[in-house]
Amino acid sequence: MAGEELVRMENINKFYGRIHALRDVSLRIDRHEVVGLLGDNGAGKSTLIKVLSGAVPLTSGDIFVKGKKVEIKRTTDAIANGIETIYQDSALVPQLSIARNLFLGREPVKGPAFLNRLDHETMGAVARQLLKKVGITKDIPPETPITALSGGERQAVAIARAMQFDSDLIILDEPTNNLGVAETQGVLRFVREARDTGHSCIFIAHNIHHVFQVVDRIMVMRGGKLVADDIDPKKTTIEQVERVITGEHLLH
């Protein structure tokens, strides 16, 4: 049974010169849903995500958020519509502290606004809360610079930032790449946590095993097209999905 629609993309096309990177892609993401987006390199996954996150403009097609048609021409448009994207490098500022990164560009100030005095107490308190929420159990001071964190902890901070600004849809682009086993489990736990706290997620990963652990539904892209959008991980094997990705066998 379909849930309540959050995001819908209709007939999305993207050309880079003569290269037709996205071909009439239509999809929907419901509220409280984690969707896995799979496909080989060059299948169109990254381009689709860049269009939805405002990193590249679409050539033609429509995007709807909560039933309303929206224009997403830049990343600020996506963020204004409740869509946050966490890329592999997670776009954190390594020299700044955890707390500053969580509030980057949206820092709370105290006292008269023109003095621009940052409210470090509030940022620190919120940072501690958020880090717990995304599964960092050890007590890392909020003033710790990002450079001092492991790869998994950095991902956690990036995910915490997306949760902090109450995005409806969190897009995770290869969040488990180059992570150790414990850190990967942490990221997968964040995804479940995000869904449990009312967010939707699009989870892109090369590792199908990771996808199968957390998603409600799997979509597969091949050659710039969406070739499957309703694979149920509970009723499908990893091998079957791999065959859909390579085009050897289409699910009936």
Statement: the pTM of the whole predicted model exceeds 0.85? no
- Decide if pLDDT at 106 tops 80: no
Alpha-carbon dihedral 210, 212, 218, 222, rounded to 10 degrees = 50
- Decide if pLDDT at 238 tops 60: yes
Question: Quick one: average pLDDT of 120-146?
Answer: 84
- Decide if pLDDT at 24 tops 90: yes
Residue 247 has φ and ψ, to the nearest 5°, of 85, 5
Q: What is the pLDDT of residue 1?
A: 46
Give the sheet arrangement for strand 169-173, strand by strand. Answer: 83-86, 169-173, 200-204, 34-38, 217-222, 225-231
Q: What is the pLDDT of residue 2?
A: 61
List C-alpha distances in Å: 84 to 53, 62, 119: 7, 19, 24
For the chain, how big is the Rg over CA atoms in Å?
19
- Among 116-120, 169-173, 179-183, name the most confident range: 169-173
Contact 29, 7 (CB under 8 A): yes
Residue 143, class by beta-carbon neighbours within 10 Å (0-12 exposed, 13-18 middle, 19+ buried)?
Answer: middle
Q: Which fold has domain 16-93+151-246?
A: Rossmann fold (3.40.50)
Q: What is the pLDDT of residue 115?
A: 77
| β-sheet bridge partners, residue 62 | 10
Q: Kindly report which listed range (120-124, 212-216, 234-238) carries the lowest average pLDDT score.
A: 120-124
Contact 70, 115 (CB under 8 A): no
Contact 23, 223 (CB under 8 A): yes
**Token pair of 101 as six digits:** 């990164």
42-70: per-residue pLDDT in tens?
Answer: 999 999 999 999 999 999 999 999 999 99
> Hey, where are the domains in the chain?
16-93+151-246
List C-alpha distances in Å: 74 to 7, 52, 70, 82: 17, 9, 12, 13
SS (H, E, C) the chain: CCCCEEEEEEEEEEEECCEEEEEEEEEEEECCCEEEEECCCCCCHHHHHHHHCCCCCCCEEEEEECCEEECCCCHHHHHHCCEEEECCCCCCCCCCEHHHHHCCCCCCEECCHHHCEECHHHHHHHHHHHHHHCCCCCCCCCCCEHHHCCHHHHHHHHHHHHHHCCCCEEEEECCCCCCCHHHHHHHHHHHHHHHHCCCEEEEECCCHHHHHHHCCEEEEEECCEEEEEEECCCCCCHHHHHHHHHCCCCCC
79-89: per-residue pLDDT in tens?
Answer: 999 998 887 65
